[in-house]
């Protein structure tokens, strides 16, 4: 069971990294999106286990796929909501 959860988190972090590279973050911190993807992957894996009635196993390909979809959705939703509150002005260098 523990390896299944770790597998979901690792898949979520990798998917979050990929989604953070693909999306335009508008100056947002990509680490927060990667963490949201890890949480989304765990939620996706749990939903698969609850709906599918499967146990949490270390290398169940369907649960890993659901974790990847959950991680991608978590990162995309996080960056979509967060981009409303991040400044869109161009970066300028401070001079003193």
* Chain segment 67-93, per-residue pLDDT in tens: 999 999 998 898 888 877 766 666 656
**CA pair distance 41, 47, nearest whole angstrom:** 10
- Residue 55 has what pLDDT? 80
**CA pair distance 70, 6, nearest whole angstrom:** 15
- Residue 39 has what pLDDT? 94
- Residue 80 has what pLDDT? 82
CA 48, chain centre distance (Å)? 16
For residue 20, pLDDT over 90 is answered with no
């Amino acid at each position: 069971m523990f390896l299944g959860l770790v597998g979901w988190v690792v898949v979520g972090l990798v998917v979050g990294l990929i989604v953070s590279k693909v999306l335009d973050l508008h100056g947002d911190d990509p680490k927060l999106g990667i963490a949201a993807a890890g949480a989304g992957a765990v939620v996706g894996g749990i939903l698969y286990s609850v709906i599918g009635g499967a146990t949490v196993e270390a290398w169940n390909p369907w649960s890993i796929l659901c974790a990847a979809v959950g991680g991608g959705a978590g990162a995309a939703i996080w960056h979509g909501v967060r981009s409303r509150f991040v400044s869109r002005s161009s970066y300028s260098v401070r001079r003193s």
